[in-house]
Amino acid sequence: MLHSLVIMGYRLSGYSNFKEFKQQTYKCHSDGRNWHPDYPYIIKHLDSCRFTGKAMLYNMLQLPYHIPFMTPVSLAMNNLGGSKAQSPANARRMQSIGPTLNYCPKCVQRQLGIYGRSLWERSHQLKFASVCWRHGTRLIPVEQHLHHPLLPADFEMQDTEYVFDSREIWLANQSRDLLVGNHGPSNLAAMAGLYRARAISLGYTRGRKIDYGTIVDHLKKRFQEDFLLRTMQCADLDGVRGALYAAMNSVRLVANPIHHLFCMEALFGDQRLFFSQLKALSRSEETAGRVAALNSDETGPVHKQIFMVELRRSGQEVMVALHKNFPFTHSWILRNALVWSRRKIAELTLRGPKRPSQLRLAAKHRNFREALEEQMSRRAIHANTAAKVLASGSAVGAHSAQAFHRMSSELRRA
């Protein structure tokens, strides 16, 4: 918006050269990205949201995507003064961004209809996002002219191409949500702790370490390899694993927002959940212990919700379906909510059972449990069989559990 405003000012000013216009306006040379230090005094009157304003002045409409993954200190070093006094992280980010901008031809038509002019939209500028979140159209990437900047309507290419790839649409919506969320800079240690605790509680572990390979497998199933490699910019899946590791441990100075979006998708399923937990965490100012507490409370409902969705879809075969589609939920249920899950499955079918048969089944049930525990100790190899046994025997199990309870209460009375 502000970037567009500056360009409009240049058009109306009658200057034949953008450089001269800026020189006169800001009393300093600029290549269109780095502005004179005096500019903070002007910006106050133009932009109520400091961070986004800065980003646009730097011709970095992408900066707002980076802010949630920066510390307050590194953001403060992202000063308006120009390239000389920047932090190394900022300098690297500047290099990686470049002057490529995206626009959506449908949005251009819409803006021309409403405002009579076209504008650069921040929500189209996430690197590697290639679809408009509003129209589902292919974004057109162009090189911005630093000395004669153009508005989207000035470019000849205005062909509309609709995209039906759900992965591209996912990325477009994620990038928009990231902007709309308007998140401030974060405590990176807390962020790393949050990722870690969530990964552990979801079962993405091998021994005591986080198993990044399994997370990559999960993402590969969801997005396919080609999309991962294109957006993560890695040559192979080892690279993707490395990128996830770097994001989850806040290793790199220049965080790539897309890497974080994938981490959030794999571990939280929803970036709002991630940011709300991060906020709660920063507020409490405690780290590891608090994260663990937060996660143990939070993951249960998530797994149970996944279970209920699958139950509705697959009925009594729910555990088999879980094992296939949500292996971590499957093992979480086996570990933590076996009785609950059996009851839920039994609720599907059992109505008014008879007592003698219940007692017979109770005996079976105990044998069944022992067998299951044995299988669980041999988990990985036999997990599939356990799921099948559980799925077929679970109605029986819950049924007999009720009977068993009733029997023991009667015994106590006697």
Instruction: Count residues binding Zn ion (CB under 5 A).
Output: 6
- Closer of 95 and 166 to Zn ion (Cβ): 166
Of the listed pieces 127-135, 186-194, 314-322, 335-343, which binds Zn ion according to CB under 5 A?
127-135
Q: Which stretch binds Zn ion (CB under 5 A): 100-108, 201-209, 252-260, 360-368?
A: 100-108
The residue among 106 and 148 lying less far from Zn ion, judged by its C-beta, is: 106
In DSSP terms, 210 is beta-bridged to 205
Minimum CB distance to Zn ion, residue 110 (Å): 7
Q: Smaller CB distance to Zn ion: residue 134 or 183?
A: 134
At 371, the amino acid letter reads A
Answer for which of 104, 215, 261, 321 binds Zn ion (CB under 5 A) is 104
The footprint of Zn ion on residues 360-389 (CB under 5 A) is: none
Pairing of strands 205-206, 140-143: unpaired
CB of 124 to Zn ion, least distance (A): 8
Structure tokens at 348: 């599907």
Q: Which stretch binds Zn ion (CB under 5 A): 133-141, 202-210, 355-363, 370-378?
A: 133-141
Specify the residue, 3 or 323, whose C-beta has the smaller distance to Zn ion. 3
| Cβ-based nearer residue to Zn ion, 104 or 322 | 104
DSSP 140: E
Which secondary structure element, helix H or strand E, spans residue 101, and what is its range?
Answer: strand 100-103
- On whether the CB atoms of residues 202 and 213 are closer than 8 A, the answer is no
Nearest distance in Å: CB 2, Zn ion: 20
Q: Which stretch binds Zn ion (CB under 5 A): 101-109, 180-188, 220-228, 387-395?
A: 101-109
Backbone angles phi, psi at 103, to 5 degrees: -140, 160
- Residue 134 interacts with Zn ion (CB under 5 A): yes or no: yes
Q: How far is CA 227 from the centre of its chain?
A: 15
Q: 10 Å Cβ neighbour count for 385?
A: 12
CB of 104 or CB of 338, closer to Zn ion: 104
Residue 134 CB, shortest distance to Zn ion, in Å, is 4
Which of these ranges, 128-136, 148-156, 171-179, 325-333, lies near Zn ion under the rule CB under 5 A?
128-136
Nearer Cβ to Zn ion, position 135 or 330?
135
Name the residue nearer to Zn ion (CB basis): 73 or 157: 157
Q: Which ranges of 337-354 does DSSP label H, i.e. alpha helix?
A: 338-349
Binds Zn ion by CB under 5 A, chosen from 3, 36, 122, 135 = 135
Element (H, E) at 274: helix 271-284
Nearer to Zn ion, 135 or 365 (CB): 135
107 touches Zn ion (CB under 5 A): yes
Residues 6+ apart with CB under 8 A from 36: 26, 27, 28, 30, 82
CA distance 114 to 107: 10
User: In angstroms, rounded to a whole number, what is the distance separating the alpha carbons of residues 221 and 245?
Assistant: 19
Cα separation, 364 vs 203, whole angstroms: 31
CA distance 224 to 167: 9
Q: How many helices (H) and strands (E) does the chain have?
A: 21, 4
* Binds Zn ion (CB under 5 A): choice among 55, 67, 126, 132: 132
Yes or no: say if 190 and 282 are a contact pair by the CB < 8 Å rule: yes
CB 121, min distance to Zn ion, A: 8
In single-letter form, the type of residue at position 366 comes to R
Of the ranges 37-45, 88-96, 135-143, 380-388, which one interacts with Zn ion (CB under 5 A)?
135-143
Closest CA to 67 of 189, 178, 165, 193: 178
Rounded to a whole number of angstroms, the distance between the first and last alpha carbons of the chain is 79
Q: Which stretch binds Zn ion (CB under 5 A): 32-40, 130-138, 173-181, 245-253?
A: 130-138
Given the complex with Zn ion, which of 107 and 334 has the nearer CB atom? 107
CB of 108 to Zn ion, least distance (A): 8
| Site residues (vs Zn ion, CB under 5 A) | 104, 106-107, 132, 134-135
